[in-house]
Amino acid sequence: MQDIGSTIREKLKTGKISLPSLPDNAAKLRMLAADPKSTMNDLAVLIGHDASVSAQLIRLAQTMRYSHPGCKITSLFTAINRIGLNGTVNLVLAMSILQGYNFHSKLLHSMCRDDYNRSRHICRYSLTVYRLIQGELPRAVGDYISLATIFLNIGFLPIYSELDAIERVSQISIEADVVEDWKKHLRCQLGRMILEKWKFDQSFIDVMSLAIDDTYTEEMKAVVYGYEYVNSNPSVGLIPLGKDLSDSFTFIDEGKYLDDLRSFLQEKNLLVQK
């Protein structure tokens, strides 16, 4: 296992580590969104090729984050108009990235699922943190938070890929605690490298550090506080998220968990007790 660790570090030093590419549908969507001649209908046609993502966008557009729950939305075009261009692009990017968390090794698959669910919980808590502190959540801020929280664990993917490839060609037993140690030390470095390769805004790259300074915006701080809360409270994993990824991008409304989150923010002097 130590030899494997040395191999990964050497690949990092020489720039030979294999970094994941942006999912094909996400890359096409970014290009389309950047084209001033593109329309909402063009987006709907492209997204419509993925039935799962289309259904989740329609479902999400009907939540209180975007409309009154009683407002029935049945078409993808209407959902995209309700969510907005930037919001749709960010949400589809987040969904595409989360769907890439899949490996052959049973251990790595299990660890990956845990990371995947942690990212989803961080998203829900970060959205709720911002709303609790600021009193409301502007749509653009929510879209930013949704994507930023998915990026937090993106640095794990190259580690899993390297180990998955090694396990398939050899019979080396992978130890979970060693992998977790590598993840802890390499997450930021690898995450930054991936986001730079994907040409994402510097603000998304900066949030990888999780060390709040004067350059952090309020939404970036909300991501960090959401991350801290999820990683320090094992009971968070008890909240049912459901199989639909759109559940990740909605507020927390379960009373007990909301009360616990308020207590956490009050302890950090981020929320004045009323």
What pLDDT is recorded for position 125? 94
User: Nearest 5 degrees, angle CA 57-CA 58-CA 62?
Assistant: 110
pLDDT tens-place values along the chain, 274 residues long = 556 667 777 777 777 777 888 888 888 888 888 888 888 888 888 888 888 888 888 888 887 677 666 678 888 888 888 888 888 888 888 887 777 667 778 888 888 888 888 888 999 999 999 999 998 888 889 889 988 998 888 888 888 888 887 777 776 667 788 788 878 888 888 889 899 988 888 888 888 888 888 888 899 999 999 999 998 988 888 777 766 667 788 888 888 889 999 999 999 888 866 5
pTM of the model: 0.82
Quote the pLDDT of residue 55.
87
* DSSP summary character for residue 254: -
DSSP state of 165: H
pLDDT digits (tens, 9 = 90+) for 52-86: 888 888 888 887 677 666 678 888 888 888 888 88
DSSP-derived 3-state class of residue 103: coil
- Please state the domain extents for the chain: 1-17+101-274, 24-99
Q: How many helices (H) and strands (E) does the chain have?
A: 13, 0
Q: What is the pLDDT of residue 130?
A: 95
Q: Phi/psi at 20 (nearest 5 deg)?
A: -65, 150
Closest CA to 215 of 226, 223, 225, 207: 207
∠ CA 124-129-130, nearest 5°, is 105
Say if residues 49 and 25 touch (Cβ distance below 8 Å): yes
The pLDDT score that the predictor gives to residue 68 is 65
- Residues near 131 by beta carbon (within 8 Å), at least 6 away in sequence: 137, 251
- How many C-beta atoms lie closer than 10 Å to residue 181's C-beta? 12
What tokens were used for 95? 């969904």
Q: Which pLDDT belongs to residue 274?
A: 52
